[in-house]
Amino acid sequence: MTQPAAMQPTAPTEATKAMQQLLQNLLAVSLHHYLILAVVLFGIGTFGVFMRRNALTTLMSIELILNGGNLTLLAFARSHQDMRGQALALLVIAVAAAEAAIGLAIVVGVFRNRHNTNIDELNLLRY
C-alpha cells in the first residue's frame, strides 16, 4: 500500500539541515556555561557571607558557595565522563545538609536566649 503524496516523508533540504544544526548549537550547554554559573553562585555566596550580618542569611550564603563548588565538580565530571565527581558532589550535599541542620539549630537556640541573630552582636557563647 502506497502513501498519498502529501503524507510521504520528504528529504531534508540544505536549509533544513542548516537550521537544525544552528538550533542544536544554540541549545548545547558547554562546560563554559556551567563554570560561569558556578562562579556566579560562588560570588553571590561570598558576597552574602562578607556583607550580611544575619546568621540565617550567612547560612544561606554558605549553601550557595557549596552549590557553586558542586556545580563545578559536576561540570568537570560530565566533561570527562567520570562518575567520581558525581560521588564527591553527593558527599558535599550530605555535608551541606548536616551543616544546615546543625547551623539552624544553633541559630534557633541563640535566638531563644538573645532574641537576635545579628552576628556582630553575638560575641559570647554563654547564656
pLDDT digits (tens, 9 = 90+) for 68-104: 999 999 999 999 988 999 999 999 999 999 999 999 9
DSSP 3-state of 125: coil
User: 118 has which bridge partners?
Assistant: 54
DSSP 3-state of 54: strand
Average pLDDT over residues 15-26: 80
Whole-number Å distance between alpha carbons of 84 and 77: 7
The reported pLDDT for the residue numbered 124 is 66
The reported pLDDT for the residue numbered 6 is 59
Answer yes or no: are the C-beta atoms of 99 and 93 closer than 8 Å: no
Tell which wins on pLDDT, 9 or 59: 59
Query: Is residue 1 scored above 80 in pLDDT?
Result: no
115 grid coordinates: 532574641
Query: Is residue 127 scored above 60 in pLDDT?
Result: no
pLDDT in tens, 27-79: 788 899 999 999 999 999 999 999 988 888 999 999 999 999 999 999 999 99
Give, in degrees to the nearest 5, the angle at Cα 91 between 85 and 92.
90
The reported pLDDT for the residue numbered 10 is 64
